[in-house]
Structure 1
């Protein structure tokens, strides 16, 4: 039996190490830290937004003669400039007549709704203006100044209803 080799087992000199090797972990964390330090300043770039220029106007400047302002009160009653509208049909018919007198690209109607106005009634008024032929619809965000004249109503210009001043913006 001289041709058979016996297996020899080599016993390791040190027992197996069950501790975690933290060197690769530290290397990965440092690489991630460097990546984030390089990328973070690049992420803080501003997005360019083109904002229209603002115009400073005097508080008591009346709106232009050809401007149409539709206002809605808390109950959803409609007024074109200062003329009260008894019904939705009358509102659409009156607005149709007023817009027919204007050029197609000048058919602009502004809406000024009370904060407590039902949203659905505002949408009905907006739809009525579109049905009457308005090309551009705008929302007025501030009340008309006290004593301002709103032209365009039947019978000439009439003073606008008194409204509380708009609150000042918070700093």
Structure 2
């Protein structure tokens, strides 16, 4: 603390706290805190294949399943008669040892019931590789 005598108009002594050392200590602590915080690196560890990596597998077989606006289905461009024909095709695919990928592509104006029926049939028959292909422009 620093005590100094008052002025002629105010004879009482003035008591002031010298805050300069306090500010200096706080700044030093702040700098030490900033230095000790670890740097955040936004990195992803990727394990690259080596020289003895296995050769790439053959590309998977893909089946295009389209849901048309009238509620009909097309299997690789071939229009199916009804849902029973779709289930017969899905049953044949499900029994294969290596199941092909089913790419379900609903038409923007097709009903949700038709799309949900195709997905539920595929799930019930045990198909594992099902994807919904977007028809929206990118």
With the shorter chain as reference, the TM-score category is: 0.5 to 0.7
Which of 28, 32, 48 pairs up with 2:45? 48
TM-score (norm 2): 0.55
Question: Displacement, 1:129?
Answer: 1.1
Specify the alignment match of 1:32 in structure 2. Answer: 30
* Greater per-residue strand proportion: 2
Per-residue deviation, residues 10-36 of structure 1 (Å, max 9, x unmatched):
xx963232x682542443244334433
Specify the alignment match of 2:86 in structure 1. Answer: 91
Instruction: Indicate if the aligned counterparts of 1:68 and 1:110 stay in contact, CA closer than 8 A.
Output: yes
User: 1:1-150 counterparts in 2 under 5 A?
Assistant: 14-17=13-16, 21-39=19-37, 42-49=39-46, 67-73=62-68, 77-100=72-95, 102-103=96-97, 106-114=98-106, 116=108, 120=112, 121-139=114-132
For the structure 1 residues 31 and 70, does the alpha-carbon distance in structure 2 shift closer, same or farther, using more than 3 Å as the test?
A: same
Per-residue deviation, residues 78-99 of structure 1 (Å, max 9, x unmatched):
2221222343343223311343
SS at match of 1:43: coil
Question: Displacement, 1:45?
Answer: 4.4
Task: Output the CA distance in 2 between the equivalents of 1:130 and 1:91.
Answer: 13
How well do the aligned residues superpose, as a CA RMSD in angstroms?
4.1
For the structure 1 residues 79 and 33, does the alpha-carbon distance in structure 2 shift closer, same or farther, using more than 3 Å as the test?
A: farther
More relative contact order, 1 or 2 (CA 8 Å, 6+ apart): 1
Unmatched runs of 5 consecutive residues or more in structure 2? 6-12, 50-55
Task: Output the CA distance in 2 between the equivalents of 1:117 and 1:67.
Answer: 24
Instruction: Indicate if the aligned counterparts of 2:68 and 2:110 stay in contact, CA closer than 8 A.
Output: no
Unmatched runs of 5 consecutive residues or more in structure 1? 1-11, 56-62, 143-165
